[in-house]
Amino acid sequence: MPGITAASAQARSQGGEDRLDVSQFSAGFGLPHHPPSGSHTRKCALMDSPLYASLLDMGLLGIVVLAFAEKLIPVLPSYLMLVFLGATYVSDVPDLIVLVLATVCGSTLGALFWYGVGRLAGKERTDALVARFGRYIFLPVTRYRAMANAYETNQFWVTLVAQTIPTIRIFLAMPAGVLRLKLQGFLPATILGIFVWNAPLVGLGFLLRQSERDPLQMGVAVVGAILLGELAVGLIFRRVRG
């Protein structure tokens, strides 16, 4: 993707305070660029990371890899990543659509990875792996068992809704693989759930990019409100069940 490659190279050559013009990224998508009125160059401190620069050089494939990695390594919160991508790499609606599809593709591949792990390892070995290593990846045994038990209800809706819950959305595919859920039901629910989660966050970043406030700070604030809302809903649900 020549546009993205050129932009990342320019960022690295400037050093210090890197400034990336989002209009340069549009060319990397192979789409026409139509800059919104009042758009301006923003400082993007996160691009100081060599990993981000390398992924930029890969173009859309790098975005897919980034979304895939988010499903494997829960250190990078998806909501921050998606808002950041929308605020940095989207110049117009066609770019927005392509970026959302790329992130959905990468996240789906990550879900299939965990599905494959669960299916190949089987129940006993997966239980042993979770008991030994789960605490290091934010997956305690109690949470894993709760996810597995959730599949006793409607499997399609459990899969779909789980893709909108932080942390749960990463690992739910593992017990689905252990239970050998049919892919013709699991995969569509996963894709739809990922889209429901990814599209609004990428779109939020796109909208924040056009505002006068820093998009990352605003994104963190909005996502924090989302998480507080989900926590409140979870507490209410527990009380109702109790």
Each residue of 3-59: pLDDT tens digit?
Answer: 443 444 443 344 433 333 433 433 443 433 333 434 333 444 444 567 766 776 787
- Domain range annotation of the chain: 2-241
* Cα–Cα distance list, 96 to 9, 13, 179, 228 (Å): 23, 28, 36, 27
**150 within 8 A of 94, measured Cβ to Cβ:** no
pLDDT in tens, 63-109: 999 899 888 876 667 877 888 888 877 788 898 999 999 999 999 99
Q: Which token pair is 237? A: 């649900």
- Does pTM surpass 0.85? no
CA distance 223 to 242: 28
